[in-house]
Structure 1
Amino acid sequence: MNNSLKIDSHQHFWKYDSLIHAWIDDSMAVLKRDFLPQDLEPILEKHQIDGCVAVQADQSKEETDFLLELAGKHVFIKGIVGWVDLQAKDLEEQLSSYFENRKIKGFRHVLQDEINDEFILKPEFINGLSKLAKFDFTYDILIFPKQLASATKAVRLLPNQKFVLDHIAKPSIVNGELEEWKRGVSELSKSENVYCKLSGMVTEAKWNNWKYDDFVPYMDFILESFGSKRLLFGSDWPVCTLSGDYEQVLQIVDQYIKNLTNSEQAGILGENAVDFYKL
């Protein structure tokens, strides 16, 4: 198993701009600076992680181009999840041009910020999602628990599309939210074309004041629902630093999976990401 790649399936880079990154409010002041490959690379090396997937943090073509440019210069960035307007009239032409750059693996839209909880079911959006599989692009689902029902309907409409749920759908761990989230996750996970990232948990707990046990009921249910072959480790760096450093975030997952088989551990810590994103 020592030959398997270790991959961080979810992190971000940005050159901080108060307008572009308006979501970074004053409670997140530690994020109000640049986070670039030279900041992450030594952290990955320290933890013997072979590479990462950089995910969009801004909904613009410029963001996708920025991530592609970074991936072209840094071999440890194994793939990127960019943004594209899935409702654009010329979407197919855009996807075709992106397809020529093998570093781009898929796309994401910040569904959690949409006022309409059923935004993903808009006919124009579903039509856009339906075009991704032709180019072998994945789709990252970024939602809150209240949006799980509409996401489930969407993935059932597109059984040939590969999806991955980001941040276990962001349940309110700080409030111990479980029941509504469990119902939604249970339904979504029945679709075999949906994977899930063990990521983004520390920022849903009490910032810098959580304990490992806070996450166990959530990880238990995610493992039970998706099985080990559809789980991917992601750090959500640098957003995770609001509530814990890289080492702590990795340690939560490492500790949780230590009773699984070697091959299951290797899958969650990298091989599943390699398969899902074709890294």
Structure 2
Amino acid sequence: MLFDSHLHIVDRKRLAYPWLAKAGALNRDSLYEDYAREAKRLGITDTLHMEVDVAESDIERETDYVKSLSSDPGNLLRGAIAACRPESTDFPAYLERVLADPFVKGFRRVLHVVPDDVSEGALFRENLKRLGNTRLTFDLCVLPHQISKAVALIDLNPDISFVLDHCGVPAVKDGLSESWSSGIAEVSKRQNVIVKISGVVAYADSDNWSQETLRPFVEHCIASFGWDRVIWGSDWPVCTLGGNLSTWVAATHALMQGVSDDERNRLYHLNAKRLWSL
């Protein structure tokens, strides 16, 4: 049983994705039905949709679209991590609307696509604090050199549950780096952070990686955070840059050989269900 905490759906007929024009092989539709067909064969039983950096005017439309898909019988969708703009004066009103919708489980603002000082702004930080003691999580997607920016936000908000996406986005194809390793160890000291075991196949050499390429990155994250603070995500369709969904699931199972059933279950589904009360 796998709980996929990181599914992206791309439907260019419904929504606008300005970044796709420069996204190479990802500049295509990646529809729910294509994901679900493969996911169900692989033992994925539940998934959360992760925002796909749609045009700002489409942020709430994206949530509505995913929610409409979740009404189909037998679907895997259990909720959404929605996009947000904490740097905007409109954020408080948006937050109130989201809190009224139990389908939305959290927010993400990708920080490596904006200037570093965005997350340092007074309004951004004031608005982020509004998530404290709510049911909403906040996904942090940062590059290794931005870990200090993430730590600053975490330290200012001990009442928010943060999720560090994609093992902290290491440059897997370049091998282990001290900056990434030490950054992961530093973030893991904050007990209100969970790390997402995802994304690493997309950062590897697409033509020349194996489970042993990924192992030091996955194992360092798990060793740093512990089995109670790790969750799994596919990062579909981005994972297809390094194979396909089946490839990443198979690599995950291979990497987990030798761990206990309890440890595996915590990573695969129990921690995610606890985090989002599912």
TM-score (norm 1): 0.91
Equivalences for residues 96-115 of structure 1 within 5 A: 96-115=96-115
Aligned to 1:94: 94
- Does residue 37 (structure 1) correspond to residue 36 (structure 2)? The answer is no
Aligned to 2:255: 256
**Per-residue CA shift, 1:3-30, capped at 9, x if unaligned?**
xx5311111001137x94343356732x
Once the two structures are TM-superposed, the CA of residue 33 in structure 1 deviates from its matched residue by: 2.3
1:105 and 1:277 in contact (8 A); partners too: yes
Provide the secondary structure at the position in 2 that maps to 1:87: coil
1:258 and 1:265 in contact (8 A); partners too: no
1:96 and 1:135 in contact (8 A); partners too: no
Equivalences for residues 169-208 of structure 1 within 5 A: 169-208=168-207
* Partners of 1:88 and 1:238 in 2: CA distance: 29
2:158 and 2:192 in contact (8 A); partners too: yes
Aligned to 1:81: 81
Provide the secondary structure at the position in 2 that maps to 1:94: helix
Root-mean-square deviation (CA, aligned residues, Å) is: 1.9
Opposite residue 135 of structure 1, the aligned amino acid is T
**Larger relative contact order, structure 1 or 2 (CA cutoff 8 Å, min sep 6):** 1
* Partners of 2:89 and 2:263 in 1: CA distance: 42
**Per-residue CA shift, 1:35-90, capped at 9, x if unaligned?**
22211112121012111011001243233333333334464101110112223334
1:81 and 1:106 in contact (8 A); partners too: yes
TM-score (norm 2): 0.91
Provide the secondary structure at the position in 1 that maps to 2:112: helix
- Does residue 13 (structure 1) correspond to residue 9 (structure 2)? The answer is yes
Aligned to 1:245: 244
Deviates further, 234-243 or 121-130:
121-130
Provide the secondary structure at the position in 2 that maps to 1:23: helix
Deviates further, 61-70 or 191-200:
61-70
* Partners of 1:48 and 1:73 in 2: CA distance: 19
1:44 and 1:51 in contact (8 A); partners too: no
1:83 and 1:108 in contact (8 A); partners too: yes
Provide the secondary structure at the position in 1 that maps to 2:44: coil
Aligned to 1:234: 233
- Identity rate, percent: 29
For structure 2, list consecutive stretches of 5 or more residues without a partner in the other structure: none
Aligned to 2:208: 209
* Partners of 1:275 and 1:53 in 2: CA distance: 14
**Per-residue CA shift, 1:107-143, capped at 9, x if unaligned?**
1012111122x43232211112111134311001011
- Does residue 142 (structure 1) correspond to residue 141 (structure 2)? The answer is yes
Aligned to 1:47: 42
Residues 1:24 and 1:91: Cα distance change in structure 2 (over 3 Å): closer
How many residues were matched structurally?
A: 272
Opposite residue 202 of structure 2, the aligned amino acid is T
* Partners of 2:67 and 2:248 in 1: CA distance: 26
- Does residue 24 (structure 1) correspond to residue 20 (structure 2)? The answer is yes
For structure 1, list consecutive stretches of 5 or more residues without a partner in the other structure: none
Residues 1:85 and 1:115: Cα distance change in structure 2 (over 3 Å): closer
2:86 and 2:128 in contact (8 A); partners too: yes
* Partners of 1:85 and 1:25 in 2: CA distance: 22
* Partners of 1:78 and 1:175 in 2: CA distance: 36
Residues 1:101 and 1:73: Cα distance change in structure 2 (over 3 Å): farther
2:211 and 2:255 in contact (8 A); partners too: no
Provide the secondary structure at the position in 2 that maps to 1:111: coil
